[in-house]
Amino acid sequence: MAATAQPNVKNVWLGGVEPMKASYGKLMMWFFLVSDTFTFSALLVSYGLVRYSYPAYAGKVVDFVSSPTYWPIPEKVFDALPFLHGLHAPLVFVGIMTFILIFSSVTMVLAVEAGHRNDRATVEKYMLWTLLGGATFLGCQAWEWTHFIHGTEGGTVVKELVDGSWVSKTIFGANLTENQYGPPAFADFFFFITGFHGTHVFSGVVLNFLVFYRTATGTYERRGHYEMVEKVGLYWHFVDLVWVFVFTFFYLV
């Protein structure tokens, strides 16, 4: 035998060693996540660039009115709650969404821990909780987008240059070219960043469902280990991690 003590021969790659004491799948998942970090960083850093190229709102927070000439204050944009029309609840909904995602990360890591003990029933239970958290987050995001697209009752009056003369018009909500809350770029970044993150959450929910299904049908029990839960878990925590950054740089700062 080789001098290196391998606790589990199955972990050895085809070259006969286990680089960085990680299995092939786990290491590749880590490298994928590093590349994904760059994609999300590029999106968030571009947001910073465009934000600083616009003037910030200079007045008092209470007197804030939306205008396409300066960058909006996020707490004045995201202040609505479902079923509570007209209530000013700044950042409450997005706070709830953050809590849901952190909690689903906790249930995911509990599933991974149960997998280490080959405790099939517990893995199933926590995978179900993680699925519930992911689906709830997606539902919340759908509502948030709908509200953002439809806009407020009053809308915002903007002046536009049409055929050489200034025309006043009222804009309701936001799309990729018009935005009642601020410069159109603000809405563009909202759609791209939360949309790209939401796509990741959706893929995560699909992967989590596959892991739940294969746990419930005993695939991993027959295989003898629950490493797949760990690999998909890495991805799910990464999605949570990205949201922590989106929450800070899009909603708080």
Partner 1 sequence: MAHVHEHDVDENAGAEQRKAIWRTFWILLILTAVEFLIAFTLEAGPLKTAIFVGMTIVKAFYIVGEFMHLKHEVKSLIWAILIPCIFVVWLLIALMREGGSIFDLR
Q: Please give the residue ranges that form the binding site for partner 1 (CB under 8 A).
A: 20-22, 27, 30, 33-34, 37-38, 41-42, 45-46, 48-56, 61, 73, 75, 90-91, 95, 98-99, 102-103, 105-106, 108-110, 113-114, 116-118, 221, 233-234, 237-238, 240-241, 244-245, 247-248, 252-253
| Distance, CA of 101 to CA of 113 (rounded, Å) | 19
Question: What's the CA gap between 190 and 135, in Å, rounded?
Answer: 20
Q: Which residue number, 151 or 242, has a Cβ lying nearer to partner 1?
A: 242
CB of 160 to partner 1, least distance (A): 19
* CA pseudo-torsion sign 135, 137, 138, 140: positive
Give the H/E segment covering residue 156: strand 156-162
Shortest distance, position 50 Cβ to partner 1, whole Å? 7
Q: Is the dihedral of CA 215, 219, 220, 222 positive or negative?
A: positive
Residue 146 CB, shortest distance to partner 1, in Å, is 24
> Between 38 and 166, whose beta carbon lies closer to partner 1?
38
Tell which phi-psi region holds residue 72, choosing left (phi > 0), alpha (psi between -120 and 50) or beta: beta
Closer residue to partner 1 in complex, CB, 60/85: 60
Shorter beta-carbon distance to partner 1: residue 116 or 169: 116
Q: Taking the complex as a whole, how short is the minimal distance between the CB of residue 170 and partner 1, in angstroms?
A: 26
In angstroms, the Cα distances linking 136 to 41, 97, 129, 215 are 25, 8, 11, 22
CB of 179 to partner 1, least distance (A): 18
118-123's contacts with Cβ under 8 Å and 24+ in sequence apart are: 118/221, 118/225, 118/226, 120/215, 120/218, 120/220, 120/221, 123/215, 123/220, 123/226, 123/229
Shortest distance, position 238 Cβ to partner 1, whole Å: 7
**Residue nearer to partner 1 on the CB measure, 172 or 247:** 247
Strand-pairing partners, residue 156, are: 171
State in angstroms the smallest separation of the CB of 155 from partner 1: 26
Q: How far is CA 190 from CA 23, 215, 251, in A?
A: 37, 36, 10
**165 DSSP β-pair partners:** 162
Choose between 115 and 173: whose C-beta lies nearer to partner 1.
115
Q: In terms of CB distance, is 64 or 143 closer to partner 1? A: 64
